[in-house]
Amino acid sequence: MNIIETQGLTRDFGKFTAVDGVDLTLAEGEIFGLLGPNGAGKTTMLRMLTTLLPPSRGEAHVAGYDVVRQANQVRRVIGYVPQLLSADGTLSGYENLLIFAKLYDLPRAQREQRIHHLLSIMGLEDAAAKLVKTYSGGMIRRLEIAQSVLHAPRVLFLDEPTVGLDPIARASVWEHIQRLREEFSTTILLTTHYMDEADELCQRIAILHHGQVAAIGAPAELKAGLNRNGVSLDDVFSHYAGGAIEASGSYINVSRTRDDVRRIR
Amino acid sequence: MTYAEFAETQDKSALRPLARAIYFWRKTFNIFEMELRKIRHDPFNLLTRAIQPLLWMLIFGQVLAGARGIPTGGFSYIEFMAPGILAQSVLFVSIFYGLALIWERDLGIIHKFLASPAPRTALVLGKGLGAGIRGCSQATIVLLTMWLMGVNVDWNILKLLAVFATVLLGSVVFATLSLIIAIWMKERERFMGVGQVLTMPLFFASNAIYPISMMPDWLQRISMFNPLTYMVDALRALILVGAESSYGLGFDLGLLAVVGVILIAIAAKIYPSFIT
């Protein structure tokens, strides 16, 4: 069964079409990357799949449920880590997990065990009792990922999971994402604009450009498709997204990204 | 059985009204618990918030106590105003709750809650009850101050419980109103503008520090549509020995409850638009 299926998925904001007729299918258990420059429609795509934003046209099913008509069923079987920092800095790491464990109705008997298991997987056991505002960026990300998989979701959505992290923290987040997949065989849909991240983590990627799928396939396939030697995923990206990397990263985007990093401290 | 499968069975039982109501309250208390834990990490905050009502009572109240022209129905001015100041401090604490919500939205916390299966009404009410805890700590401090100032407070335990219930109800009403403004205004600066424009008129167009009968006609009419008026009326009747409510205690509390339910329904309805 396809765990995610979209047909002609479209979202307009006024006259601007953020996502434009996207057809996408994800098989259960894969790690899939949505790539594209800022404003390509990655986050809008994710928000529709996580029921946060109703599509303007088209359809999407997650784990067989319609994201509009069966939004509540979808919410039960997905985990979501937004692009922004989403752990609560005024609570401890443990409390952040506890509240979500309760919110997702984890049976009381399994709650503690599950929380401690995830804390240890994510390497946060020692920091569990500390307030999250004292955490480093990488620790917060790992906590957020732990939070999003408490209820063993069938699909995990990660929006720019390593944005704003230093290289060591990024590597550790990658390692933990892979560990999650090995342990729970969760399907993971992530967005990123780091090519090395897509190369390292994803079995398949789709490059979004102006809200449309410009290319889709395994990273190796896409590289081979360019018919040149020594092609990197960066080349693939600029080939399909038209060198848009240069044009992106507007003042507002830069300000937001930096803001998020600063704010939680 | 995986957690997700377990959750799906839960979803089916949620079709029955009773199970649904229980589910709603459980989620409400999950959110409430979170708010409670936040307060526990920063209890000092509760004390600093108490300074403002204390100043009103100790300074404004003392000065106005000398004025003889205010018809307070046989009570000293301090006695008359103290319940009003309690209601006012609940209003001030609650009305800026939306600011915290905007902060949480900017961080991304709200997104995660909205992508969870918890009913939106529970997300709203849980927050409102969280504001209620701050309100109740204000109530404790105001009551103790009244006692120290020699006010004849009614310590009947049932009435005391009713005082806290009224404070909780009022907090939910004003915190939810604040959430609606936050969702509507979206940005912090605009919220602050509206918040400030709203709080003082709510305060002045109520019976908090002077009786309705002293107001000009037009203001009297406005005060009838102000939930704060009914909250003050209920608190006055409950706190002061020998005081009676002008509109009936049942009416006061019933009206606050109805307004609360309507506001929660509106907030839950527009909540998703907060993040787009």
- Tell whether the model's pLDDT for residue A32 goes beyond 90: yes
pLDDT of the residue at A56: 95
Residue with token string 């009713």: B162
pLDDT of the residue at A245: 47
Say which of B7, B41, B272 has its CB closest to residue A52. B272
Judged by CB atoms closer than 8 Å, whether chains meet at A147 and B276 is answered as: no
Q: Hey, where are the domains in chain A?
A: 2-74+89-263
The C-alpha R_g of chain B, in whole angstroms, comes to: 20
Residue bearing the bigger pLDDT, A259 or A98: A98
- Tell whether the model's pLDDT for residue A16 goes beyond 60: yes
Residue bearing the bigger pLDDT, A249 or A26: A26
Q: Tens digits of per-residue pLDDT, A111-155? A: 999 999 999 988 899 999 999 999 998 899 999 999 999 998 999
> Mapping DSSP to helix (H, G, I), strand (E, B) and coil, where does residue B73 land?
coil
Judged by CB atoms closer than 8 Å, whether chains meet at B107 and A263 is answered as: yes
Per-residue CA distances from B142 to A13, A26, B47, B52 (Å): 50, 60, 12, 11
Tell which residue, A36, A38, A48, has the closest CA to residue A6.
A48
Question: In whole angstroms, what is the distance from residue A242 CA to residue A237 CA?
Answer: 8
Residues in chain A within 8 Å Cβ distance of B7: 76-77, 104-105, 151
pLDDT of the residue at A254: 57
Residues in chain A within 8 Å Cβ distance of B41: 90-92, 131
Judged by CB atoms closer than 8 Å, whether chains meet at B33 and A86 is answered as: no
Question: In whole angstroms, what is the distance from residue A80 CA to residue A139 CA?
Answer: 17
Question: In whole angstroms, what is the distance from residue B149 CA to residue B85 CA?
Answer: 14
Q: Which chain B residue lies closest to A80 (C-alpha atoms)? A: B112
CA contacts within 13 A on the Cβ side of B154 = 19
Number of residues that make up chain B: 276
Mutation target to probe the B interface, by most B beta carbons within 10 A, among A56, A86, A145 is: A86
Residues in chain A within 8 Å Cβ distance of B37: 91, 95, 99
Judged by CB atoms closer than 8 Å, whether chains meet at B34 and A95 is answered as: yes
Output phi, psi for B88, to 5 deg.
-65, -40
Edge-to-edge order in the sheet of strand A2-13: A16-27, A2-13, A57-62, A65-66
Mean pLDDT across A166-173: 85
Percent of chain A residues past pLDDT 70, beyond the cut: 90
DSSP 3-state percent helix, strand, coil across chain A (nearest 5)? 45, 25, 30
Percent of chain A residues past pLDDT 90, beyond the cut: 57
Residues in chain A within 8 Å Cβ distance of B107: 84-86, 89, 260, 263-264
Q: Is beta strand A65-66 parallel, antiparallel or unpaired with respect to A2-13?
A: unpaired
Residue B76, burial from CB neighbour count under 10 angstroms (0-12, 13-18, 19+): middle
Judged by CB atoms closer than 8 Å, whether chains meet at A50 and B27 is answered as: no
CB contact at 8 A, A217 and A225: yes
Cβ-Cβ contacts under 8 Å for A127 (sequence gap 6 or more):
A93, A134, A135, A139
Residue A156, burial from CB neighbour count under 10 angstroms (0-12, 13-18, 19+): buried
Q: Tens digits of per-residue pLDDT, A36-74? A: 888 889 989 999 999 999 999 999 999 999 999 999 999
Judged by CB atoms closer than 8 Å, whether chains meet at B112 and A86 is answered as: yes
Q: Is beta strand A187-192 parallel, antiparallel or unpaired with respect to A204-209?
A: unpaired
Residue bearing the bigger pLDDT, A12 or B67: A12
Out of 3.40.50.300, 3.40.190.10, 3.40.50.2300, 3.30.365.10, the CATH code matching A2-74+89-263 is: 3.40.50.300
pLDDT of the residue at A258: 55
| Mean predicted lDDT score pLDDT of chain A | 86
pLDDT of the residue at B175: 96
Q: Tens digits of per-residue pLDDT, A193-211? A: 888 888 889 999 999 998 9
Judged by CB atoms closer than 8 Å, whether chains meet at B107 and A84 is answered as: yes
Distance, in angstroms, between A11 CA and closest chain B CA? 12
pLDDT of the residue at B46: 84
Res. A240 pLDDT band, cuts 50 70 90: confident
pLDDT block averages, 10 residues each, chain B of length 276: 53 70 94 94 85 87 78 83 92 89 88 93 95 92 90 91 96 96 91 88 90 90 94 94 89 96 96 86
Mean pLDDT across A6-29: 93
pLDDT of the residue at B61: 83
- Complex prediction ipTM: 0.85
pLDDT of the residue at B79: 87
pLDDT of the residue at A119: 93
CB contact at 8 A, A11 and A17: yes
Res. A175 pLDDT band, cuts 50 70 90: confident
Q: Which chain B residue lies closest to A87 (C-alpha atoms)? A: B109
pLDDT of the residue at B10: 54
Instruction: Give the predicted TM-score (pTM) of the model.
Output: 0.87
Most confidently predicted of A30-39, A176-185, A237-246, B252-261: B252-261
